[in-house]
Chains A and B, each alone.
Chain A
Amino acid sequence: MDRVKDLASKKAAVIFTKSSCCMCHSIKQLFYELGASPAVHELDNDSYGREMEWALRGMGCNPSVPAVFIGGKFVGSSKDIISLHVDGSLKQLLMDARAIWF
């Protein structure tokens, strides 16, 4: 849990993924398209991967990956990201966190 929070606060946009997860790939692509350069942490390549996944699930993230944090705050999984993007809120969040400038 601490590790998750720790990593999440290190950059404006942070995404927790797994290397095998293709939905994570989609969300990453979306962020790149928007001009954000998120920090990507692959849980299956992290020694604390299992605890982190457990912590993410505890936060209500289902499926556990992709898990998106903007400005250190937990935003949600792929469903939330898409919904926020459609109504324009995602861009606003990113701008507020200084992840993107326009």
Chain B
Amino acid sequence: MGSRTRVVGVEDDRGAERGMPSFNSEWPVSNAGYTERQTIDSFCVSDFGAFDQSYRIADAVDLSRNSVYNSVKVSSQTISPVSVHISSLGQLPASLEKSPLTNQTELHRLRLQKGQSSNSGTTVVGNTDNQEESAMADASPRTDISTDVDTDDKNQLYDRNLSIVAVSDSSDRSKDKSDQKTLRRLAQNREAARKSRLKKKAYVQQLESSRLKLTQLEQELQRARQQGIFISSSGDQAHTLSGNGAMQFDAEYARWLEEQNRQTNELRAAVNSHASDTELRMIVDGILAHYDEIFRLKGVAAKADVFHLLSGMWKTPAERCFLWLGGFRSSELLKLLVSQLEPLTEQQLMGITNLQQSSQQAEDALSQGMEALQQSLAETLSTGAPASSGSSGNVANYMGQMAMAMGKLGTLEGFIRQADNLRQQTLQQMHRILTTRQSARALLAIHDYFSRLRALSSLWLARPRD
């Protein structure tokens, strides 16, 4: 019988090294003949990321069962101990609950027991190896894949060892009960080792998929960088970015936000500590000047890359929800503020209401202009002869169309500029209508609102997805 000879061969091999098994020496043995084992080999060596874990579990179970049945074939006297063997396998669910550690301590006890029996030579070695194997499996899940193969080998050979031992002990009645316990414990130990193996495989699989995901993300990042979307990397300072208008603007905007946060905190502290009007006015003027700064930066960016501003990619997702011509809607902001600014005098209330109405009207006018632009652009690109005919007249038409369309796109910059102008004027008019203290509260409210939108964006981006 091929299996028996193999067992002997491996035993010799094991007898040769008592310490940590050297995996390389086991390879030639495991590659010989046995088809199922070869299947394992090929699976382990091939692309691990495609692995189906459940398949492996079934595989392992089948193999251990097969080894049992093989040993059944080996000797005909083996019915009772082997049935014990099988029933111990049947105890799988219970043993799976056991932690590998308890199995190891039991194993240790087992070894001591076994040390006393006469024909325990090979099994002790088997035990040691197995214990070390499971210990290794638990302690260092980073061992290479080949160990799985070897563990499989060892456990199958181990199974066969056991069944052979069981066979030879079947005649000895006094040792029957302890052998049963032994077998049960060994089966549990096998289970624990198998569980560890499966855990290791799962972990490696996870690593593989994470690695794939990482390369995917890197590719996306590369693509996005090419498109000019600003992505800050860990050591990359904004000063080194140049030329690309979008990235430059994003860097400037990030700096602007930081400064605004600082100024707002200063304002909040001053308001809470009931600072004097002069002090408040100084801080408020500083914040308004800072707003002027961002509008100036946006003007520069509009010349470089108007579509970047229009896209709102420099803002967080939730802010983008409310995007209008590359920024916020002043009329909406005023609506939110009115309730928070009370008490207002009659005159102030009228002023704020008028301001809200004026900004709404201006926004509508600009929106209509944008719609007209869209329509005009669409018309420009859709008229003309079909592209199939290649006469020079059509080419001239095509080029004329493109030239006209280019001109229209150029006017987008003007729209963004006027939209920002509207925002800037609205803020300044608001400041004129309100008292210093009210302006301070208004600026705090505006900043808090946008902060919350940005926080919402972060939460949204980090939400758990199935």
Which residue of B is nearest A21, CB measured? B411
Chain B nearest Cβ from A87, distance in angstroms: 5
Query: Is A1 located at the chain interface by the 8 A CB criterion?
Result: no
Q: Are B365 and A83 in contact (CB under 8 A)?
A: no
Taking CB atoms and an 8 Å cut-off, the chain A residues in 4-24 that contact chain B are 20-23
* A25-B369, A30-B362 known; A20-B426 Cβ under 8 A: no
Cα–Cα, bound, A20→B368 (Å): 14
Check B364 for interface membership: any CB of A closer than 8 A: yes
Measured in the bound complex, the distance between the Cα atoms of B395 and A66 in whole Å is 33
| Interface size grouping (class) on chain B | 20 to 34
Known: A22-B369, A26-B415, A86-B429. 15 other contacts (CB 8 A): A22-B373, A22-B408, A22-B415, A25-B368, A25-B369, A26-B365, A29-B364, A29-B365, A30-B361, A63-B414, A78-B414, A78-B418, A82-B362, A85-B358, A87-B432
- Of all chain B residues, the one with the shortest Cβ separation from A84 is B425
Q: Does residue A50 face the partner (Cβ distance < 8 Å to B)?
A: no
B contact residues around A33 at 8 Å (CB): 361, 364-365
In whole angstroms, how far apart are the Cα atoms of A78 and B417 in the complex?
10
Give complex CA distance A33, B373 in Å.
19
Interface status of B370 (Cβ within 8 A of chain A): yes
- A:25-56 near B, CB below 8 Å: 25-27, 29-30, 33-34
A83 partner residues in chain B, CB cutoff 8 A: 421, 425
Taking a contact as CB atoms under 8 Å apart, the answer to whether B411 and A22 are in contact is yes
The residue from A25, A87, A88 contacting B372, defined by CB atoms under 8 A apart = A25
Bitwise interface map of B from 338 to 374 toward A, beta carbon under 8 Å scored 1, else 0: 0000000000000000110011011011101110110
Query: Which partner residue on chain A sits nearest B415 by CB separation?
Result: A23
Q: Is B369 within 8 A of A82, CB to CB?
A: no
Q: Does chain A have a CB within 8 A of B444?
A: no
Residue count of chain A within 8 Å CB distance of chain B: 20
Of the residues A20, A22, A85, A87, contact of B361 by C-beta under 8 Å: A85
Q: B368 near A86 (CB under 8 angstroms)? A: no
A86 to B360, CA, bound (A): 10
Closest to B432 in A: A87
- B408 CB contacts on chain A under 8 angstroms: 20, 22
Distance A22 CA – B462 CA, assembled complex (angstroms): 41
CA distance A25 to B432 in the complex (A): 30
Please indicate the chain B residues that have their CB under 8 angstroms from the CB of A26 in the complex.
Answer: 365-366, 368-370, 372, 415, 418
Consensus secondary structure, chain B interface: helix
CB atoms of A27 and B365 under 8 A apart: yes
* Chain B residue with the shortest CB-CB distance to A91: B358
Task: Tell me the number of A-to-B contacts counted with CB atoms below 8 Å.
Answer: 70
Q: CA A78 – CA B416 in complex, angstroms?
A: 12
Q: Mark each residue of chain A from 71 to 89: 1 if its CB lies under 8 Å from any CB of chain B, else 0.
A: 0000000110011011110
Within 8 A of A (CB), among B416-448: 417-418, 421-422, 425-426, 429, 432
User: In the docked arrangement, what's the CA distance between A25 and B369, Å?
Assistant: 5
The minimal Cβ–Cβ distance linking A71 to chain B, given in whole angstroms, is: 20
- Whether B364 pairs with A86 at a CB distance below 8 angstroms is no
B451 in contact (CB, < 8 A): no
**Known contacts being A22-B369, A23-B411, is A79 close to B421, with CB within 8 Å?**
yes
Q: Is B66 an interface residue (CB 8 A)?
A: no
Say which residue of B370, B418, B429 sits within 8 Å of A87 (CB atoms). B429
- When each residue 366-390 of chain B gets 1 if its CB lies under 8 Å from chain A and 0 otherwise, what string results? 1011101100100000000000000
- Say yes or no: B414 contacts A86, CB within 8 Å: no
* Contact partner, A86, options B358, B366, B373, B411, Cβ 8 Å: B358
**From B359, B366, B373, residue with most partner A Cβ within 10 Å:** B366
Bound CA span A26–B373, Å: 10
Bound-complex Cα distance A102 to B362 (A): 18
Q: List 14 A-B contacts (CB under 8 A).
A: A20-B407, A22-B411, A23-B369, A26-B366, A26-B368, A26-B372, A27-B365, A27-B369, A29-B365, A78-B414, A83-B425, A86-B355, A87-B425, A88-B354
CB nearest to A88 among chain B residues: B354
- List residues of chain B with CB within 8 A of the CB of A86: 355, 358-359, 362, 422, 425-426, 429
Question: In the assembled complex, how far is the CB of residue A56 from the closest CB belonging to chain B, in whole angstroms?
Answer: 16
Of all A-B residue pairs in the complex, the 10 with the closest CB atoms, nearest first, are A26-B369, A30-B365, A86-B425, A22-B373, A25-B372, A26-B365, A29-B365, A29-B368, A22-B372, A22-B369
Q: Is the CB of B414 within 8 A of A82?
A: no
| Contact pick for A22, options B364, B370, B425, CB 8 Å | B370
Bound complex: CA of A23 vs CA of B369, how far in Å? 6
